[in-house]
Amino acid sequence: MRLRNVKDSNLIINNSRYIIKDYKKYKGNFKSLFKNDNKINIEIGMGKGDFIIGMAKLFPNINFIGIEKFDSVIARAIQKIDLEDIENVKLIKMDALLIDEVFSKEINLIYLNFSDPWPKKRHSKRRLTSHTFLKKYDNIFEKNNNIWLKTDNKKLFEFSIESLSKYGYTLSNVSLDLHNSDFINNVKTEYEEKFSKRGFTINRLEAYIKE
């Protein structure tokens, strides 16, 4: 989700204790940043932070890393986290294409919330559930592959179901109307909150590959 420019966004990012600046040097050892052995879950394209903040508060014994490439968006997330003073959240400003250059065999779960659908067929490789990205994710999971996806875009959801299934993922808890399902502990993103109020249905699935 894009956002209007946030004043002094670079200053906010550079001075934040939540930002991991030299993130590549922690490859394979991100747990040292949290100073515990708790599992690490990441959200790729975290937007303005509502989801990752909510999850961190709901699950204090899990470490969360939010990934976002837009300065103004991540700056807004930092402002929100500062108000909460949460210890189990870190943020990285980077492009998701670098994901396998940053993490190595240490991630428990990936959240893909309302990712860019890249609707044109020629851009399909840019979708975060394309074969291109699924192959990258193989290198970052600690043990089992686990992906949780939410989107209001039905075509992206259909694409993701096909792509994940072909890659070898097993799908579970598939919902075409999340907010009218029996799923509990759903933490909404800012996008989800906005568009569900307008009557948009939310699609959700969990996908995994076990060793």
Q: Give pLDDT, residue 4.
A: 62
Domain spans of the chain? Answer: 40-209
**In angstroms, rounded to a whole number, what is the distance separating the alpha carbons of residues 148 and 129?**
11
Query: Of 8, 22, 116, 182, which residue is the catalytic one?
Result: 116
Q: Are 192 and 47 in contact (CB under 8 A)?
A: no
Helix (H) or strand (E) holding 65: strand 63-68
This prediction has a pTM of 0.95
Q: Are 20 and 74 in contact (CB under 8 A)?
A: no
CA distances from residue 54 to 41, 42, 50, 186 in whole angstroms, order as listed? 13, 13, 6, 9
Task: Note the pLDDT tens digit of each residue in 94-129.
Answer: 999 999 999 999 999 999 999 999 999 999 999 999
Kindly state the tokens that stand for 28: 């394979």
Tell me the H-state helices in 6-153.
9-14, 31-34, 50-58, 71-84, 99-102, 131-138
Task: Note the pLDDT tens digit of each residue in 147-156.
Answer: 999 999 999 9
Task: Note the pLDDT tens digit of each residue in 169-205.
Answer: 999 999 999 999 999 989 999 989 988 888 889 999 9
At a CB cut-off of 8 Å and minimum separation 6, what does 37 contact? 31
CATH topology of domain 40-209: Rossmann fold (3.40.50)
Main-chain phi, psi angles of 58, to 5 degrees: -75, -30
Give 83's strand partners: none
Mean pLDDT of 23-44: 96
Q: Would you call 100 a catalytic residue per the annotation?
A: no
Q: Determine which of 70-74, 147-151, 162-166 has the lowest per-residue pLDDT on average.
A: 70-74
> Helix crossing, 131-138 with 154-167: angle to 10°?
50
